[in-house]
Amino acid sequence: MSILHVCVFIFRQAGTWPVRASTLLLLLKLHPRQAAEICCRKDNPMALAIVYSRSSSGITAPLVTVEAHLAFGMAGFFIVGLPEAAVKESRDRVRSALVNSNFEFPSRRITVNLAPADLPKEGAGFDLPIALGILAASGQIPRDRLEESEFTGELALSGDLRPVRGVLTMTLGAHHAGRRLIVPEVNAMEASLADQATVLSANHLLQVCAYLKGEQNLPRSVRPRFDPENENTPDLAEVKGQPHAKRALEIAAAGRHSLLYIGPPGTGKTMLASRLPGILPPLQEDEALEAAAVASLSHRGFNPLHWRRISFRSPHHSSSSAALVGGGRPPRPGEISLAHHGVLFLDELPEFNRQALECLREPLESGSITISRAAVQAVFPARFQLVAAMNPCPCGYAGSTQEFCQCDTEKIKRYLGKLSGPLLDRIDMQVEVTRPRPELLIKPGSYPDETSAEVRGRVMYARQRQQQRQGKCNAMLTAGELDSYCLLDAQARDLLAQVMLRFGLSARVCHRLVKMARTIADLADMEVITLEHLGEALNYRCLDRSRMMI
């Protein structure tokens, strides 16, 4: 080896090649072309490696290309590409993880680019791909198998892999791109819910590197089995009496209608609402995957063993608008999205912040919510079934025969005025609930109550009729589809016209009455909506009648 090669090697190891290059040329009087040939040799440790990962943007997981470049110069570690705070902190975690895993941390100028550069990157899931990029660029692991896989995972200082959020959406994205996904072992069960995807798991950085070197195989994750028989769902038979309220619950389940229970305290409103998931049809696989993907993005944790369970969300009335519809930076799903393809129960409805309730109007119609911030916009699904409960007045006993109401008409007006007319128009069913007779509670078996399984059978039959006729639930029919699928006979049309004129109901309420009558007809196995079906539907709009009488 010549003196020139020795000097170049020393300067490279010292990390001062760009500073000393001009001095070296002057000392050795070397022609610039010769110096360029030496610098371009294959043994030049300057290198670039590319690793694939995924970010999070609403319910999607866009591809992120992690480019790791090692160059000569003053040693440093730089991450570019709109990294958030957790991503910037990856520098310290990656350095310690590499050293503690007996790898060499290059004494070079390390630049990691997260492309595309205009997409904000957040979370610690980029630790693993950044570490692999540095190892590949420095020649410590081969690069040929990096293109086949995508990687995500947080690194502990010891090199252990820790779980990250949103793995299910990343798995679906990697599967559509034709790559396998390597995840921390704790996330393996969640990622395996995407049954067609190839998911490999590891619990340490060394295992991933050994897999890339071809020295060992990583275990493939298998989807957990869901057993609906083990679901401990409250049974409708436990609610004694209340035939009118139970009938409303069955209609709501059959047509996916929103429902509001109004009655004094202790009449069983919450008890009835909690039985709704037990009479709903089981989720289809695509619906369950959508709901599970939203739940995996939440800070509240997600249990993959319950991925096909119908969600029942019951936020407290002190919840803010961001807690209900989602928000934060980066945007996270709220309660309405966590109830996707499930039930959202709002107890003590008038006690919620009015601004928060008004935020429900758009997702009740569209089935999604768009959260916009200065630098980012996220869209989350929110196809939930709303069930709410409230007292008829501030003291709770208006209209009760057992208790004396202490509220005058003005107080009742102000109390009901907390709920805006546009919001009430979007709630299909408004049902009064009264106290059951004492003998129903005292004497067991005095009145035969149907179980949830029996009611669910009728609900599933009505849902099948709707899917065969129009391919969707009745509550999701558009105004243009009503003429095709909701045929009224002459008497029903006359009654609807009279009610619209008498009570001054909006066109939205008229459409919802027709949809509700369509569901009642489906439960009765009838093709045409009759006067009887529409008359029963009118009984489930009690607030419209009370507002006209006050």
The confidence score (pLDDT) of residue 341 equals: 95
Using omega within 30 degrees of 0 as the cis cutoff, is the peptide bond preceding 83 cis? no
The confidence score (pLDDT) of residue 545 equals: 55
Amino acid at 397: Y
Please write down the long-range contacts of 301-306, taking CB distance under 8 Å and 24 or more positions apart: 302/190, 304/189, 304/190, 304/192, 304/193, 304/224, 305/189, 305/224, 305/226, 306/226
Q: Give the chain's domains with CATH numbers.
A: 3-39 (no CATH), 47-212 (3.30.230.10), 230-474 (3.40.50.300)
Quote the tokens at residue 420: 């805006």
Instruction: State the pairing for strand pair 63-71/47-54.
Output: antiparallel
Quote the tokens at residue 373: 């911030």
The confidence score (pLDDT) of residue 16 equals: 41
Task: Please list the residues that pair with 62 across neighbouring strands.
Answer: none
The confidence score (pLDDT) of residue 404 equals: 83
The confidence score (pLDDT) of residue 42 equals: 40
The answer to whether 69 touches 137, Cβ cutoff 8 Å, is yes
Quote the tokens at residue 169: 């959406």
pTM of full prediction above 0.75? yes
* pLDDT per residue as tens, the chain (550 positions): 455 454 544 444 444 444 344 444 434 444 444 444 444 344 444 589 999 999 988 888 999 999 999 998 889 999 999 898 889 999 999 999 999 999 999 999 999 999 999 888 988 999 999 999 999 999 999 999 999 999 999 999 999 999 999 999 999 999 999 999 999 999 999 999 998 899 999 999 999 999 999 999 999 988 887 766 556 788 998 888 889 999 999 999 999 999 999 999 988 999 999 999 999 999 998 999 999 999 988 866 678 888 889 999 999 999 999 999 988 777 889 999 999 999 999 999 999 999 999 999 999 989 999 988 777 788 999 999 999 999 989 888 887 777 888 888 888 888 888 898 889 989 999 999 988 877 777 766 655 678 999 999 999 999 999 999 999 999 999 988 998 999 999 999 999 999 888 888 888 899 999 999 999 999 999 999 999 999 999 999 887 655 444 3
Task: Please list the residues that pair with 390 across neighbouring strands.
Answer: 262
The confidence score (pLDDT) of residue 5 equals: 52
The answer to whether 365 touches 430, Cβ cutoff 8 Å, is no
Could you tell me which of 216, 416, 382 has the C-alpha nearest to residue 291? 382
The answer to whether 343 touches 277, Cβ cutoff 8 Å, is yes
CA atoms within 13 A on the CB side of 40: 6
Instruction: State the pairing for strand pair 377-381/368-372.
Output: antiparallel
CA atoms within 13 A on the CB side of 178: 1
Q: What is the 3-state secondary structure (H, E, C) of 399-415?
A: CCCCCCCCCCHHHHHHH
Q: What single string gives the DSSP state of each residue in 157-204?
A: TTSBEE--S-HHHHHHHHHHTT-EEEEEGGGHHHHTTSTTS-EEEESB
The answer to whether 367 touches 381, Cβ cutoff 8 Å, is yes
Q: What single string gives the DSSP state of each residue in 106-150?
A: P-SEEEEEEESTTS-B-SSTTHHHHHHHHHHHTTSS-STTGGGEE
The answer to whether 309 touches 229, Cβ cutoff 8 Å, is no
User: CA–CA distance from 297 to each of 89, 99, 123, 282, 301 (Å)?
Assistant: 21, 31, 11, 23, 8
Say what the alpha-carbon torsion angle 292, 295, 296, 302 is, to the nearest 10 degrees: -90
Quote the tokens at residue 465: 């009729």
- Produce one character per residue of 339-374: b if its CB has 16 or more CB atoms within 10 Å, e if not: bbbbbbbbbebbebbeebbebbeebbeeebbbbeee
